[in-house]
A and B are shown apart, each in its own frame.
Chain A
Amino acid sequence: MAASLDIAAKDLRQRVRDRSAILLAIVVPLALAAIFSLLFGPASTPRPFEYAVVDQDGGPIVAAFEDEVLDYLESEEIVSVEAMGEEEARQAVSDGDLDAAFVFPAGFSEAVQSERPVEVEVVGSADSPTGTDVARSIARSFVADLDAARVAVAAVAHQQAGTSEDELSAIAEQVATAPPPVALRDVSASAKVLDTKTYFAAGMAVFFLLFTVQFGVSSLLEERSDGTLARLLAAPVRRTSILVGKLLTSIVLGVVSLTVLVVGTTLLLGATWGDPLGVALLILAGVLAGTGITSLVASFARTPEQAGSWQAVVAVTLGLLGGAFFPIQQSGSFMATASLVTPHAWFLRGLGSLVGEGGVVDVLPAVAALLCFAVVTGAVAMTRIGRVVAL
C-alpha cells in the first residue's frame, strides 16, 4: 500500500509540474463553460412575444379584447403589447421587430353585434412561427365566445320560428355568461432539467474528465517506453501495488479537477449543482467510470502516443453522444435513449435529478449505472493490463 501511495504521489507531482495538464483539466473546461453559458444563456431564456394591436374600430368589443385578454397575458409576462397604426404595425412585423399584430377593422364591434361576417386579422412574422400561432390562438379563443352567441341565437331562431327579439338577446346573454364547461388548470411540474449555466459547467467538466483521468494507466506505457517500468518491476514492489498506484493517480486527478470545477463554476459562473452529497457521489462514480474506460483503451495500446490518441477519439465520441455539448437528453428523439450508452449521459442525468428538491436517493440510479461502467471496463482492463506490467 505504501508503495502504491509513493507511486501515486510521484505521478501526481509530475502532473502538477506539467502545466498543460492543469490547462486541460481545469482552465479549458472552465473557460469553455463560461463562454458557452454567456453566449447561449440569453438565447435559451424565452422572451415574451411582442405584439401590436391595431384598433381601427374604437368599439367596445376591441376594448374588451385589450382590457380582458391582452392585459392579463401581459401581466403574466407571456406577451407584451403595444397599440400602433396599421402601416407601422405591418412594417414592424415584416421587419421581424414584432412577432405578430392583431388588426381590427373599422366597424368591427358593430359588425359583431349586428351578426354580419367580419374578420380580425392576425399578421404574423415569418420568423416567429410560434409567436404567430400563439397570437392566432389568443384571437381564436376570444372569437369563439363571440361566435357561440351568434350560433345559439341562429339555431333557436331557426328551430322555433317566432321567438321574440327579447328572448333571442336573453339567449345570447345566457351563452355569454354561462360558466365554461371545460377549463384548463395550470399544474406545475418540478423541472428536472439543469439550467444553462449548470448544464454547460457539468457538460464541460465531464467531457474533459476523460482527458484528465487518462494520465494514470497510460503512464504505465510511458514508464515502459522510458525504461523506468523495468526498474520499478525489479524493485521489491508487488505488481498490483504498481497498478493500484496508477489507478489512484487517475482517481485523485479526476476527483480534484471535478471538485475544483464544481467550486469554480459555482463561484464564477453561478452554476447550481445541487445537493453536495449527491454531487460528491456522482463525481466519485463518474471518475471511477472514466478511469475504467481510459484504462481499457490504454490496455489495447502499445505506445503512450497511441493510447493518447485512441483515448481522445473515445472521449470525443462519448462526449458528443452523451450530450456534453448539446442537451441530447431533452431532444426526445431516439438519440436521447441511445446516449445512455455513455457515462456522460448518466452523469448529466444524475445531476438533473438533483434539481429542485432532489437528494442523495435520487442520484442512486445514475451512480449505479456509472459504477457498472467502472466495474465492467475496469475488470476487462485489469485482465489485459497484466501484459503491460509483466514486461
Chain B
Amino acid sequence: MTSLKIAWVNLRRTFRDRTNLFFLVLFPFLLIMVLGLAFGGQTAPRLAVVATGSGPLTEQLVEELEASSGLDAEAFDDREAAVTAVEQGRAEGAVVVPEDYDARLAGGGEVVLDYVSSADRTAQQTGTIVASVVDQQAARVTVARVLQERVGGDLDGMLALTDGTAEAVPDVAVAATITGETVFPEDLGRFDVGASGQLLLFIFVTSMTASTALIETRKLGVSRRMYATPTSVRAIVAGEALGRIAVAVLQGAIIMVGSALLFGVTWGSPAAAASLMLAFAVVAGGAGMLMGSLATSTEQAIAIGLLLALGMGALGGSMMPLEFFTPTLYAVAHVTPHAWAADGFADLIRRDGGLGDVVDELGVLVAYGLVLFAAASWGLRRSIARA
C-alpha cells in the first residue's frame, strides 16, 4: 500500500511541472508531425523539370517524365531555380529542356538536354531513369526521320505514322515483376514508420530525465524522512520503482493513443502493442531508477541521461529503421532494448503480427527490465541507507 502511495506521489510530481507537460505531451506530437510532414511518404528521387518551350514533343517529354515511376518530377520555371534546388539537396537532379526543343527536332537538328546533378551515385541512378525516357523519345524521332526520308512528309505526320505502326507491330517488351516482401508496405501512412521509433525514444528520454526526481527526493531529505518512518526500505524501493514505471507507461500511453487519434497511426494488435510498450516501459523505468540512484547532481543526470537516451535511441533504430543498418551495426544495435522493441513493433505494424509473434522480444525486454531493476534497487537501497 505504502509503495502505491509513493508511486502515486512520484507520478503527480512529474505531471505537476508544466514544463514536463510540454515534454511529455506536446513535444512528442510536434516531433511526429514535423517528421511526418517533412519526410513522410517521400521515397522516389526528386527531379526538377525545366521546360520553358512548348510543342508536342516538349509536352510529351515532360508528361513521360512526370508519369515515370521511380521519379518524383516537379516543374520549375527557370534553370537557375532548378539548379539551386539541386545544390541545396531538394532535388536529386534537374533536366533542362531547351525552349526551341520542338523547332530544332522538326528542323532535323540534334538536341542535347542538360541533366544537372551533384553527380553523386543517387543522382546518376536517377539519371538512368531520365535517360530512358529521353532514349525512348529519341528512338521515336529517329524512326520518324527515316520515314520522312523514305515515305516523305512532315515530322508530325511521320511521328503519327510511327506511333500507329508501333501499336500494330509485335514489340520487344520489358515485363516487370516484383517479388519478395517489402519492409515497409505501401499502405503504411506517412506517420506510421516513424511513430514506433519515437514512442521508444520518448519513453526512454522521459524516464531518464524524470528520474532526476530521485535526486531531488534525496537532496530535499524526503528519502531520509521516509526512512525514519516505519516504512521498510523494501517498500520505499518498490514504491520508487513503481513510480518510475508509471511515468514511463503514462508517456507511452499518451504517445500511442494520441498518435492514433491525431495522426491515424496504426499500432497493430492492441494486446501485443500494449504488452510491448509495458515491457519497454519497465526497461526504461529500470534504467531511469538506476541513473537516479547513482547520479550525484540533477545537471549531471540530465546531461548523461540525454546522452544515453538519444545515443541508445539512435543505435536502437528509433531514428532510422534498423533495416537500413549495415549487418555489423544491425547486430550491435541489438545490445539496446530499443532494437528488440523496434523488432517487435515492426512485426505488429508492418507484418500484422499478434502476441505470438513477439514472445521473443517480450522475453528479452523483461530480462533487461529485471536486471536493471535489480541493479537499481541495490543502488537505491545504498543511497537511502547512506542518506
Q: Decide whether A and B are members of one complex.
A: yes
Residues on A lying within 8 angstroms of B by beta carbon are: 18-21, 23-24, 27-28, 31-32, 35-36, 39-40, 42-43, 46-49, 73, 76-79, 90, 93-96, 111-112, 115-127, 129-130, 132-134, 136-141, 143-148, 150-152, 154-156, 158-160, 171, 174-175, 178-193, 309-310, 312-313, 316-317, 320-321, 325-336, 352
Contacts A120-B172, A331-B42 hold; do A152 and B178 have CB atoms under 8 A apart? Answer: no
Closest CB of chain B to A355's CB: distance in Å? 9
Task: List the B side residues contacting A352 at CB < 8 Å.
Answer: 88
Task: List the B side residues contacting A158 at CB < 8 Å.
Answer: 165
Top 5 A-B pairs, shortest CB-CB distance? A133-B70, A137-B132, A117-B170, A20-B299, A309-B19
Task: List the B side residues contacting A139 at CB < 8 Å.
Answer: 174
Residue B257 interfacial (CB < 8 Å): no
Sampled A-B contacts (19; CB under 8 Å): A23-B299, A24-B299, A31-B311, A32-B311, A78-B121, A78-B128, A94-B180, A96-B180, A125-B178, A130-B43, A148-B140, A151-B165, A154-B169, A171-B150, A178-B145, A178-B146, A187-B116, A191-B86, A332-B46
Task: List the A side residues contacting B110 at CB < 8 Å.
Answer: 179-183
**Quick one: CB contact mask for B298-315 with A, threshold 8 Å, 1 for yes?**
011011101100110011
Binds A, one of B30-38, B246-254, B364-372: B30-38
Task: List the B side residues contacting A321 at CB < 8 Å.
Answer: 34
Closest CB of chain A to B141's CB: distance in Å? 5
Are B172 and A181 in contact, CB atoms less than 8 angstroms apart? no
Task: List the A side residues contacting B128 at CB < 8 Å.
Answer: 73, 78, 134, 137-138, 141
Task: List the B side residues contacting A27 at CB < 8 Å.
Answer: 303, 307
Report how many residues on chain B are interfacial, defined by Cβ distance under 8 Å: 108
Residue of B nearest to A355 (CB): B87
Task: List the B side residues contacting A332 at CB < 8 Å.
Answer: 46, 85, 90-91
Task: List the B side residues contacting A329 at CB < 8 Å.
Answer: 88-90
B105-123 contacts to A (CB < 8 Å)? 105, 109-122
Task: List the B side residues contacting A334 at CB < 8 Å.
Answer: 37
Binds A, one of B280-288, B322-330, B340-348: B322-330
Closest CB of chain B to A49's CB: distance in Å? 7
Are B83 and A120 in contact, CB atoms less than 8 angstroms apart? no
Closest CB of chain B to A27's CB: distance in Å? 8
Are B172 and A147 in contact, CB atoms less than 8 angstroms apart? yes
Contacts A31-B311, A93-B180, A129-B70 hold; do A119 and B118 have CB atoms under 8 A apart? Answer: no
Are A191 and B120 in contact, CB atoms less than 8 angstroms apart? yes
Are B176 and A124 in contact, CB atoms less than 8 angstroms apart? yes
Task: List the A side residues contacting B37 at CB < 8 Å.
Answer: 333-335
Residue B232 interfacial (CB < 8 Å): no
Are B113 and A28 in contact, CB atoms less than 8 angstroms apart? no
Are A326 and B115 in contact, CB atoms less than 8 angstroms apart? no
Closest CB of chain A to B82's CB: distance in Å? 9
Partner of B105, one of A154, A182, A190: A182
Task: List the B side residues contacting A127 at CB < 8 Å.
Answer: 180-183
Alpha-carbon distance between A321 and B329 when the two chains are bound, in angstroms: 29
Contacts A175-B143, A184-B113, A316-B27 hold; do A138 and B179 have CB atoms under 8 A apart? Answer: no
Partner of A160, one of B86, B150, B315: B150
Contacts A137-B131, A155-B151 hold; do A121 and B87 have CB atoms under 8 A apart? Answer: no
Task: List the B side residues contacting A333 at CB < 8 Å.
Answer: 37-38
Contacts A23-B300, A130-B43 hold; do A178 and B83 have CB atoms under 8 A apart? Answer: no
Residue B177 interfacial (CB < 8 Å): yes
Task: List the B side residues contacting A151 at CB < 8 Å.
Answer: 143, 162, 165-166, 169
